[in-house]
Amino acid sequence: MRLRWVGYILVGLVTAVAASYAAFSFSPWPSVLLIRYAFHRDAVEKNRALEKHVPANVGELRDERYGDNREERFDVFFPAQAPSRALPAIVWVHGGGFVAGDKTDVSNYMKILAGRGYVTVSVGYSVAPGARYPTPVLQAGKALAFLSRNAGRYRIDPNRLFLAGDSAGSQIAAQLAATVGNPAYAAIVGVNPAIERTQLRGIALFCGVYDAAMVTPEGPFADFIRTVIWSYLGTKRLGDDPRVAEFSVNRHLTPQFPPAFVSVGNADPLAPQSALMAEAIRAQGVDVDTLFFPNDYSPALPHEYQFDLDSSAGEKALERLTAFLDRLASQPTLP
């Protein structure tokens, strides 16, 4: 009798393992749920660590609607003692590997930037696998167009707009920026240009993935990247699927791409992606300001290092980002 029960248990374990393998092999959802849990914990910790850096003179508007879907909301932060004139705006697309994250994940960082004289907007969007490419790009474009049309309501100067993003949000922001100045690419992606190119002063890109074809089966981040790209694009064929070429924004840049600030940590597995993107932008004759770190920089800087303002590197990134924004925001408006 005991041997029979042992047999039943072994069969059950084998069945469970086989079912788990099948679940992870034929659907990204099991991995996605684990990723979401880990991302949420990390975001909560980062936001909590930033609280002491948030200035007191920042106002906010939460859950402003830019569309009808539940996720189509953004949060707005602004200097509480803002001058009567309209301010430049930073429209930020949060990260989360295309499958996780929330606009509130970057709230405290947005408040810090608002304290430096900007209206900052954290854009919510739908995530994969429930919403696949190019849904977030279309939603970010919708939010940008809404802000341009309603600039007076938020005391935004519609001729001094900046796009920014971190991790997956960096790719979404970069792709949207590329469509603003490239009608042919906008048509391929299915985006109606949200604003005029002259309205977009610049873009800030942190720790992004820009070319899906660079994903290799080796490395500590490879399984994660394959899962999120599969979830977002709906394909495992990263070599020849046309959506991979379309997603890979570095291949669709023109001289109309806005001036860019690009940064990544030296221990970030995605560091080669940022180097590739910076070079692709520079090859178009576009101004690029980069903040990269030597391979032997210590302590090693992980993915999303810029949100750690208790580190000298994170503090430096904030100062360099602010200097980049201030320089472009102060330039005369083009006719």
Residue 5 lies in a domain: no
Residue 22 lies in a domain: no
Residue 245 lies in a domain: yes
Residue 100 lies in a domain: yes
Q: What pLDDT score was predicted for residue 334? A: 66
Q: What is the DSSP string of 104-133?
A: GGGHHHHHHHHTTT-EEEEE----TTTS-T
Helices (H) and strands (E) in the chain, counts: 10, 8
- Helix residue ranges per DSSP H, the chain: 2-26, 29-50, 107-114, 135-149, 168-180, 183-189, 222-233, 242-247, 271-283, 312-329
pTM of the model: 0.91
Residue 226 lies in a domain: yes
Q: What pLDDT score was predicted for residue 20? A: 32
Residue 11 lies in a domain: no
Domain with residue 103: its CATH number is 3.40.50.1820
pLDDT along the chain (335 residues), means of 10: 44 33 62 95 96 96 97 96 86 97 98 97 97 97 98 97 98 98 94 94 97 74 83 83 91 97 97 97 98 98 98 98 98 79
Residue-level length of the chain: 335
- Domain hosting 37: range is 28-329
Q: CB within 8 A of 254, min separation 6: which ones?
A: 178, 181, 182, 284
96: left (phi over 0), alpha (psi -120 to 50) or beta: left
Residue 183 lies in a domain: yes
Cα dist from 169 to 25, 97, 134, 140, 192, whole Å: 26, 8, 13, 10, 19
* Domains contained in the chain, number: 1
Cα separation, 219 vs 178, in Å, equals: 29
Residue 247 lies in a domain: yes
Q: What pLDDT score was predicted for residue 333? A: 82
Q: Is 139 exposed, middle or buried (0-12, 13-18, 19+ CB in 10 A)?
A: buried
